[in-house]
Amino acid sequence: MIEPFTKYLLNEKRYSKHTVQSYEIDLLQFQSFLENCDESITTANSKNLRAWVVSLIEAKISSRSVNRKIASLRSFYKFLLKRELVSENPATKLKPLKTPKALPEFVQKSDMDILLDHVEFGDDFAGIRDKVTIDLLYGTGMRLSELINLKISDIDFYGGTIKVLGKRNKERLIPLSKDNITLLRSYIKTKEDASYHSHFLILTDAGSQAYPMMINRLVKKYLNHISKVYKKSPHVLRHTFATHLLDNGADLNAVKELLGHASLAATQVYTHNSLEKLKSTFDLAHPKA
């Protein structure tokens, strides 16, 4: 029943391929565990589920990963219950583990200024592509998957916006700055001069669609020049986008829409970074601090 479940997540729930793949891996791991216990997915009870969770904890799997696997089980058994393939949902008794609430890492504004204004990217196709990649991730806050699937037709040069396809196939428009537009025009011209005719915006050196590992390596390479943040990934630039907006007084609801978050709770985590900055300023400036 794992395959029908994944199709349901893709076609009806509109989950991203990445999310569905994660759910599938979780369930296949659980199925393998049950086989060693001479049980099946449809006969497993809450004790079997708890035993698997305990085995994950003993294997030192992170609390965050364990909680995702618990969420996979809950969703899967809810699916089976609706189709009357099980008489009860054994995952309802599973409780998520406590996880430390770490603040999102972000790059300081001064470091981003150095990266975009002073670091040499090169004037060839690869150099301009690299700068466009960094510029879009930081300038729009889009996700890695959204960047990779961008097409040239998604850019509205006259309206100054770019259209991205987010989670659950939700489209949203993100404003572009004049600098974004100037750089994009230059990149597209260079792309045409190189005789790359792909309709995707970000391409490899060979002219094919970019892929996640390539973008991760690219971002890490340039962030290594200017920042000491522990994580150097496209998502850190998304955190940086949101943090800098809020630090400069942006409305929380507006930031939520720009990021494509489903709820305000997901956006509120960035206010903690702004609060920490205020506390730091208070400690330095107040005579009684």
Active-site residues, by number, are: 143, 167, 235, 238, 261, 270
Q: Give the three-state DSSP class for 152.
A: helix
What does the DSSP assignment read for 159-212? TTEEEEE-GGG-EEEEE--HHHHHHHHHHHHHHHHTT---SBSSB-TTSSBP-H
Q: Which residues pair with 162 in a beta bridge?
A: 155, 174
Q: Compute the half-sphere exposure of residue 159: CA atoms within 13 Å on the CB side of its CA.
A: 10
Q: DSSP assignment, residue 156?
A: E
CA distances from 210 to 113, 181, 207, 227, 235 (A): 25, 20, 9, 24, 16
Q: Which residues pair with 165 in a beta bridge?
A: 171
Question: Among 38, 34, 36, 30, which Cα is nearest to 2's?
Answer: 30
Task: Provide the token pair at 83.
Answer: 């189709």
Cα separation, 164 vs 24, whole angstroms: 26
